[in-house]
Amino acid sequence: MNSLALNTRDRSTAIGVGLVIVVGLVLLLSRLFTPLDSLTRGWLVAFAMWSSIPIGSVLLLAIHRLTGGTWGFAMAPVLRPAAALMPLVAIAFLPIVLALPAVYPWAADPASTNADVVRLYLNTPFFVTRAAVALIGWSFLGIVLATGRGGQLVAALGLAFHGLIISLVAVDWYLSVDAGYTSTAFAAMISIQQILAALAFVAVIGAPALDGKAAGDLGGLMIASLLGVVYIEFMTFLIAWYGDLPDKASWYVDRSTTGWVVVLVIAVVLGALIPFGILLVRAARCSRFGVRIAGGLVLIGSALHFAWLLVPSFDSEAGPIIVACLALCVLTIVALIIGSDLAPAPRQRETSHAG
């Protein structure tokens, strides 16, 4: 029986890896007909959306290892396979590393950015080093926590590591596509967005296994995360508007065209207001159907939010959007194929750690 399960898992992993290889070949062939800029930029947008779930799952597992609670046991069958996908996240980042000048202005033309910033921070060797440290560290934490190993010290150190590294790579990966704009709250917003995406994923995938109390706990955590993302995003805009600084104003001007305003409004309504209203109703918050609907809407809103953050920084938008949609579909299919057969650790082991 164990041999059969192992063979099934190996088959699923082989199918997932095979899909990644096929996609890589398709990207290479597409390079003959599509500009490299559109391919890599679209891949970055898809990566930002998709990687939030594994990274957020690692954070939630670490938080539960420190705090305990039944919510973590109920969500573990979804969080653990998602966290175990962190090595795949590291692999998925390679196309971006291999084509930095196609995405980042400071890599294509260092003269376009402040010379001291390029010399001391935004340059290819330092960028790759920070990315490697982040992805290796998250992969280690993902595997350790997904297999039920590591005590509270590992979880605490992991959360401290995340707090430090996300403040660097959130700026590197996403904010530096427009190196003229800075925001001290951006990394915190991305981190909460990752937690929110992981919770929404649990709501959609794990809803049938959630009883009333577990669903209520999940709904409560989603409410807190939603409020965090909306609050930080709104206050960042308010401070930028009040300060009336040219670099910040131009960043928002790029995102204030009719099309992107519509995208933002849809993201706020579908991804924040409606789920928040659903989760405020206790009966809906404690029902599997209620949290599943709210989780699905949050995932849609999160994807639109990342598109609003990243795509307007590109001079050409249609190509990256198309590539991002296709890449996100492929990454999601690969993740579900591989993650569905990753068995969670025994409940007894988890209980012993919690105690």
Q: What is the pLDDT of residues 268-323, one digit of tens each?
A: 999 999 999 999 998 888 888 888 999 999 999 999 999 999 999 888 888 888 88
Domain for residue 354, yes or no? Answer: no
pLDDT tens digits, one per residue of 138-158: 999 999 999 888 888 999 999
Domain count, the chain: 1
For the chain, percent of residues with pLDDT exceeding 70: 85
Read off the DSSP letter of residue 178.
Answer: G
Give residue 76's domain range.
12-348
Domain for residue 353, yes or no? Answer: no
* Contact between 86 and 143 (Cβ < 8 Å): yes
pLDDT tens digits, one per residue of 183-236: 888 999 999 999 999 999 999 987 666 777 888 889 899 999 999 999 999 988
Per-residue DSSP letters for 204-244? HHSGGG--HHHHHHHHHHHHHHHHHHHHHHHHHHHHHHHHT
Domain for residue 319, yes or no? Answer: yes
Domain for residue 2, yes or no? Answer: no
Per-residue DSSP letters for 63-98? HHHHH--HHHHHHHHHHHHHHTTHHHHHHHTHHHHH
Domain for residue 6, yes or no? Answer: no
Domain for residue 249, yes or no? Answer: yes
What is the H or E stretch that residue 125 is in? helix 124-146
Domain for residue 355, yes or no? Answer: no
Domain for residue 1, yes or no? Answer: no
